[in-house]
Amino acid sequence: MKSSKPYLVRALYEWILDNDTTPYILVDTGIDQVLVPPGIANDGKVVLNLAPAAIEDLEMTNEHVSFSARFNGVAENIYCPIASLLAIYARENGEGMMFPAEESDDSSDESGADASDRAKPKGPTLKVIK
């Protein structure tokens, strides 16, 4: 089944705009393929303003969010894979949604096992004591 995250991001973006508030996204810059200007991230994260007046060429797909914005007067292209989105919210009141951090899908070791298979903790076990 497809992830609901990109659908929720698009719906919340529209809802935030419909309520005359400013949409912001919180992005994890440690995820592969994130493209933001150097020096704007803080502790591996960056908050980006998605207000229509602040950006151009917004594209929200099931795979990414991309747009063009000005930073210190210089036009920059921004690219954020959906996995890098940690939150979308309204600046004025904080209404929105946080998302759990995701690991990239391309992580596998030489044996072919996914990182998610290796990282799964073992559940509790029971022993019969006589």
Half-sphere exposure of 77 (CA within 13 A, CB side): 4
Q: Catalogue all structural domains in the chain, each as residue range(s) with its CATH number.
A: 5-96 (2.30.30.220)
More confident call, 128 vs 67:
67
Q: What is the pLDDT of residues 8-63, one digit of tens each?
A: 999 999 999 999 999 999 999 999 999 999 999 999 999 999 999 999 999 999 99
Look at residue 63 in the predicted model and tell me its pLDDT: 97
pTM: 0.77
The secondary structure of 43-100 as a DSSP string is TTEEEEE--TTTEEEEEE-SSEEEEEEEETTEEEEEEEEGGGEEEEEETTT--EEE--
∠ Cα 41 103 84 (to 5°): 35
Phi and psi torsions of 39, nearest 5°? 90, -5
**Please, what is the average pLDDT of the chain?**
86
